[in-house]
Amino acid sequence: MEEKNIIINYTEYNCAEELPQLEKTLLEKAIQATSSSYAPYSKFNVGAAVLMGNGEVVTGSNQENAASPSGLCAERVALFAAHHMYPNEPVKAIAIAAKQNGKITADLTYPCAACIQVMVESQKRSGSPIKIIVGSAGKIQVFGSVDTLLPFSFGNLSQ
C-alpha cells in the first residue's frame, strides 16, 4: 500500500494585461463570444474560444433549452464546431469567460466536468496538450494540459 498525491501546476495572472499575447487574444475572443449566448434561464452568459493548429479560432457560447439537458455549454459548442470545421487540425488552446448582467464575472468560470471530458477526447485526437485559459474580471488561470484538470479520465474503450 502506498499513499500517492498529485500536484497541479498552473499559472495565475492578476489581470488580462499580464497575459502573453496568444492567451490575451484568445480570452478576448471568449469574452466577445458571450454576446451570442442564449441563456434566458440561468442568465449566465458563457463564451469559449478554441485555437486550432492552423491558427484559426472557433468560438462558441452556451445555448440553453426549456428542457434543460438539451442545452449545451459554451465549451462544447465551440469544440464540436471546431472539430466539424477543421477535423484534421489539433486543438491547441481553449479560453473560457462568462458575463452576468453584462459584466465579466468576478469569479473564474471553470469548465464543467462534461466539458473537460470532451477536452480529454480532443487532446486524445491529436496527442498534444490543450492549454486551458480560465478568465474572470480579475485573475486568470492558465493550465498547460487537460490532464491537470482531470488526471484520471475515462478513455479506454479502444483497448
The count of residues interacting with ligand THU (CB under 6 A) is: 15
Cell of 133: 485559459
Rule CB under 6 A: say whether 73 interacts with ligand THU: yes
User: Could you tell me which of 117, 98, 92 has the C-alpha nearest to residue 30?
Assistant: 98
Rule CB under 6 A: say whether 62 interacts with ligand THU: yes
Q: Which is nearer to ligand THU, 2 or 130 (CB)?
A: 130
Q: Yes or no: say if 61 and 20 are a contact pair by the CB < 8 Å rule.
A: no
Contact with ligand THU (CB under 6 A): which of 16, 26, 39, 146? 39
Rule CB under 6 A: say whether 120 interacts with ligand THU: no
**Closest separation between CB of residue 50 and ligand THU, Å?**
13
Q: Yes or no: say if 80 and 101 are a contact pair by the CB < 8 Å rule.
A: no
Using CB under 6 A, which of the segments 16-24, 49-57, 111-119, 122-130 binds ligand THU?
111-119
Q: Yes or no: say if 49 and 94 are a contact pair by the CB < 8 Å rule.
A: yes
Report d(CA 64, CA 41) in Å as an integer: 7
Cell of 117: 471530458
Contact with ligand THU (CB under 6 A): which of 71, 90, 138, 144? 71
Contact with ligand THU (CB under 6 A): which of 19, 27, 31, 46? 46
Rule CB under 6 A: say whether 146 interacts with ligand THU: no
Q: Could you confirm whether 75 is annotated as catalytic?
A: yes
Cβ contacts of 144 within 8 Å, gap of 6 or more: 9, 10, 129, 131
* Catalytic site residue from 56, 75, 89, 121: 75
Catalytically active residues, by annotation: 75
Binding residues for ligand THU (CB under 6 A): 39, 42, 44, 46, 62, 64, 71, 73-75, 96, 109, 111-112, 115
